[in-house]
Amino acid sequence: MFEVLSVMIVLVFIVVLISIIASIVSRGKHGNAAENSRQQTLQQQQRLFQEEQLRQQQEQVRLLEEQARMHHQMFEEQNRINQQMDHFH
């Protein structure tokens, strides 16, 4: 009878240990899932930030091109005015 009781105690102890280990592993998986979700969120925010940077850089290029075009027009206009002035003198 004592042997059966000790075997049952050992079996209960083993079951408790297995359940504790399973609980720890389960928490680890949930932790990994939370970490993966956090990583995905960070990557998505980084991608959105990079897209916004690219959009701003494209806008800067557009503005610089427009500024260069206006400077060119002003230069052309100034040349035309200078030629007219030379023509009068």
Query: How far from 38 is each of 35, 41, 42, 67, CA to CA, in Å?
Result: 5, 5, 6, 43
Q: ∠ CA(77), CA(81), CA(85), 5° rounding?
A: 170
Confidence band, pLDDT 50/70/90 cuts, at residue 22: confident
d(CA 71, CA 87): 24
pLDDT, residue 89, reads: 67
Q: What is the pLDDT of residues 34-79, one digit of tens each?
A: 788 888 999 999 999 999 999 999 999 999 999 999 999 999 999 9
Residue range 11-19: average pLDDT? 90
Taking the model in full, what pTM does it have?
A: 0.52
d(CA 89, CA 78): 17
